[in-house]
Chains A and B, each alone.
Chain A
Amino acid sequence: AQSVTQLGSHVSVSEGALVLLRCNYSSSVPPYLFWYVQYPNQGLQLLLKYTSAATLVKGINGFEAEFKKSETSFHLTKPSAHMSDAAEYFCAVGKAAGNKLTFGGGTRVLVKP
């Protein structure tokens, strides 16, 4: 069975500061890993995905994530937070294309001016 753990249900950062959201997964097979963002009253939007091509994955809006197999982690970072980054972020794991995704508990990001 797959599972995803996101450390910290809430993260508060100052505008311009580093954003770091932590995600650890467990999977019995090489995983497909994703980060999604959910803005208030909206659906989920894909930020980035890891599918075994490169361990450092760049996504939209300046976000990137690094896959570390030895640590079973896929942490999300952005060097400089913007007010528009305030949202909820979900890490998700899948086993294969066409398969369901299992989501972490989510991390709500607050950006302070």
Chain B
Amino acid sequence: ILNVEQSPQSLHVQEGDSTNFTCSFPSSNFYALHWYRWETAKSPEALFVMTLNGDEKKKGQISATLNTKEGYSYLYIKGSQPEDSATYLCAFNSGYSTLTFGKGTMLLVSP
């Protein structure tokens, strides 16, 4: 069973704060690292799929970096807004058709 860890488990910030989360995954047999955004009462939606060491992806105020050699990815949110409140999931793909998900980081942004 692959071990995908996310930290922190939860985070509460004020509107306008910038924040970041960590996803740790096995550094061997790496194929891709996925990030999903999961709002309460909705279904997970894909943010990024990252494949190359050193990769950096950006969507609006959300960005992610990838280090496959040491097995971690960071997700950054610049200037958090209440609508950014969600659980952020990362998932590891070792190339065998399936994803192993972390437990997620729950972000709450207060106005």
A binds B: no
Residues on A lying within 8 angstroms of B by beta carbon are none
